[in-house]
Amino acid sequence: MRMVVAEHPQIIPRVHRVDRLRANDGVELAIERFGDPTSESIVFAHGFGQTRHAWSASARALAQRDWSVITFDARGHGDSGWCDDGAYELPQFIGDLVSVARLPARPPILVGASMGGLLGLVAQAEDRPFRALILVDITPRWETAGIERIIAFMGAHPGGFASIDEASDAVANYLPHRSEKKSPERLRQLLVRTDNGRLRWHWDPRMLDQIAAKGERYQAALLDAARRIDVPTLLISGEHSDIVSDSTIAEFMQLVPHAEHVRVPRATHMVAGDANDAFTDAVLKFVGKFDSSKS
């Protein structure tokens, strides 16, 4: 068991460890657990090009409120394995998410951002592994320009970076609304060093063609999945998101009429990174309905 030093000592979880989970096809997923594993559970699923570390602050806060929290790196991301043949398909990611959701003794609540939220929609419609869904700045139909901006950033530096500072500048240009750059420590979680000494992002670049280019082909299935959701659902959107819009949110609320919606002020698509306190508060308020002792 390994205890990490949290940013705020008062929210160090009682239990913290990193595990590995072997997916059905042998790919190993990096799993991180926070809090008492016997408590009610929440699974966090990150967006395309992110890692489990995007959730660390929220995971610690929820663990402090006696929730058992699981975060993980999707295949091809972070510390998880890559597909040997470079063939990535959405059903693989969905199967991985269902496998993670089966780890707790009782069905968990899902918090899924962007890609993670879409995977959760389909997983719930097909396998029903979750007791509730929290979708973070994603709807079954999205704004194409916003997705293109993300893909352009992910493919912009195929040769990697000479230094942490160079990578930091690239992130700052991508997220100009943030007043502070990512710290070198946080950036190191997102970079790996190649054989030639340069740094590259943590994801398998082959995913860009395999997953991102096919995204819109799945929209009909995603819309159908949303219609079949009958568990409590919360949509958290960023006020300045370029991925979801008033029209895509309105469509989602028609598809899932029992859903709730919270818009986080001053946040973009990167809601948890832009306004983590407000995001975490929205999650806590929603999940508190499932256990009054945690509200």
Residue-wise pLDDT for 236-282, tens only, equals: 999 999 999 999 999 999 999 999 999 999 999 999 999 999 999 99
DSSP state of 270: -
Average pLDDT over residues 4-12: 39
Average pLDDT over residues 16-25: 92
Residue 181 banded pLDDT, cuts 50, 70, 90: confident
Average pLDDT over residues 8-24: 71
* Dihedral sign of CA atoms 100, 65, 289, 134 in order: negative
Residue 8 pLDDT > 90, yes or no?
no
* Residue-averaged pLDDT of the chain: 90
Joined together, the tokens standing for residue 41 give 């559970």
Report the b/e string of 105-143 with b at 16+ CB within 10 A.
eebbbbbbbbbbbbbbbbbbbeeebbbbbbbbbbbbbbb
Residue 2 banded pLDDT, cuts 50, 70, 90: very low
Average pLDDT over residues 139-150: 93
DSSP state of 161: B
Q: According to the model, what pLDDT value does residue 49 have?
A: 92
Q: Cα 245 from chain centroid?
A: 19
Q: According to the model, what pLDDT value does residue 9 have?
A: 39
Alpha-carbon gap, residue 35 to 41, rounded angstroms: 9
Joined together, the tokens standing for residue 129 give 């592994």
Residue 46: which H helix or E strand, with range?
Answer: none
DSSP state of 197: S
* Locus of tokens 């959730």: 55
Q: According to the model, what pLDDT value does residue 79 have?
A: 95
Residue 292 pLDDT > 70, yes or no?
no
Residue 295 banded pLDDT, cuts 50, 70, 90: very low
Alpha-carbon gap, residue 79 to 86, rounded angstroms: 16
Q: Is 26 helix (H, G, I), strand (E, B) or coil?
A: coil
Residue 192 pLDDT > 50, yes or no?
yes
Q: According to the model, what pLDDT value does residue 53 have?
A: 94
Residue bearing the bigger pLDDT, 15 or 117: 117
- Contact by Cβ (8 Å): 272, 113: yes
Tens digits of per-residue pLDDT, 26-85? Answer: 999 999 999 999 999 999 999 999 999 999 999 999 999 999 999 999 999 999 999 998
**pLDDT more than 90, % of the chain:** 73
- Contact by Cβ (8 Å): 206, 197: no
Indicate the Cα dihedral angle 153, 157, 161, 164, nearest 10°.
0
Residue 5 pLDDT > 80, yes or no?
no
Which residues partner with 249 through β-bridges? none
